[in-house]
A and B are shown apart, each in its own frame.
Chain A
Amino acid sequence: GENVEQHPSTLSVQEGDSAVIKCTYSDSASNYFPWYKQELGKRPQLIIDIRSNVGEKKDQRIAVTLNKTAKHFSLHITETQPEDSAVYFCAATTGAGGTSYGKLTFGQGTILTVHP
């Protein structure tokens, strides 16, 4: 089955700096890669996603890049703010684009702390 590795496990940055979280996956058939943000005591929420036919996607201060050859994808947060502090999870699935069940395999999570 799919295996997703996420690094680093913790990341501490100063407000205004950039933050990068990286994930690798094992199943070359994976075709959809979402990122979830979980604030302390709250539910995970989707913040950005990317499909296997796209190399990069941006949404304001966040972006995701995908390298299918190397089987890794990354989350980039620019101009970080204290409210970006949370746990971030990457995930992968082979279930996009069809009637396949969308089983997600999650990475271990990264605790991001943004210091004012």
Chain B
Amino acid sequence: DGGITQSPKYLFRKEGQNVTLSCEQNLNHDAMYWYRQDPGQGLRLIYYSQIVNDFQKGDIAEGYSVSREKKESFPLTVTSAQKNPTAFYLCASSIVGRASSYNEQFFGPGTRLTVL
């Protein structure tokens, strides 16, 4: 599995601490996304970015922050303001701007965050 990677696979955090999840892709994709996955709730969009140095809030951005300083990287910080951070976090990427077809999203392997 190359292409899009996430680290670490498992992450434990104490309450009140910020933690940063890594997402890297070598697919030369312009767009990157962060999703949160909870049982029975599907995938919910946290943040997305279409281009370097630009990003937008998704449906559940509160308590999270991101940066997009490089095309290949889109780290997600889970802050202490996120009240229920225990979840499985998935990063994805896609190309942007092909008029003839939809731009499939490719997912990373995910990071499971547990707050102790």
Q: Are B43 and A44 in contact (CB under 8 A)?
A: yes
Q: Is B2 an interface position by the 8 A CB rule?
A: no
Q: Is A26 an interface position by the 8 A CB rule?
A: no
Chain B contacts for A93, CB-based, 8 A = 102
Interface size on B, residues (CB 8 A): 27
Q: Are B105 and A102 in contact (CB under 8 A)?
A: yes
Question: In chain A, residues 15-58, which have Cβ atoms closer than 8 Å to a Cβ of chain B?
Answer: 32, 34, 42-46, 49, 51
Q: Is A9 an interface position by the 8 A CB rule?
A: yes
Q: Are A107 and B42 in contact (CB under 8 A)?
A: yes
Q: Are B45 and A103 in contact (CB under 8 A)?
A: yes
Stretch at the interface among B61-69, B74-82, B89-97: B89-97
Give bound CA distance, A67 to B2, whole Å: 37
Chain A-chain B contacts (Cβ-Cβ < 8 Å), number: 65
Q: Are A89 and B42 in contact (CB under 8 A)?
A: yes
- With A43-B90, A43-B110 already in contact, the answer to whether A102 and B40 are too (CB < 8 A) is no
Interface size class on chain A is 20 to 34
Q: Is B25 an interface position by the 8 A CB rule?
A: no
Q: Are B109 and A95 in contact (CB under 8 A)?
A: no
Q: Are A89 and B105 in contact (CB under 8 A)?
A: no
Report A57 CB to chain B, min CB distance, Å: 13
Give bound CA distance, A104 to B35, whole Å: 10
Q: Are B109 and A108 in contact (CB under 8 A)?
A: no
B interface vs A, CB < 8 Å? 31, 35, 40-45, 48, 50, 58-59, 90, 94, 96-97, 99-105, 107-110
- 27 A-B contact pairs sorted by A residue (CB < 8 Å): A4-B42, A6-B42, A9-B40, A34-B104, A43-B90, A43-B107, A43-B108, A44-B90, A44-B107, A45-B107, A46-B105, A49-B102, A49-B104, A95-B102, A96-B101, A97-B99, A99-B97, A101-B31, A101-B50, A102-B31, A102-B105, A104-B45, A104-B105, A105-B45, A106-B42, A108-B40, A109-B40
A interface vs B, CB < 8 Å? 1, 4, 6, 9, 32, 34, 42-46, 49, 51, 89, 93, 95-99, 101-109
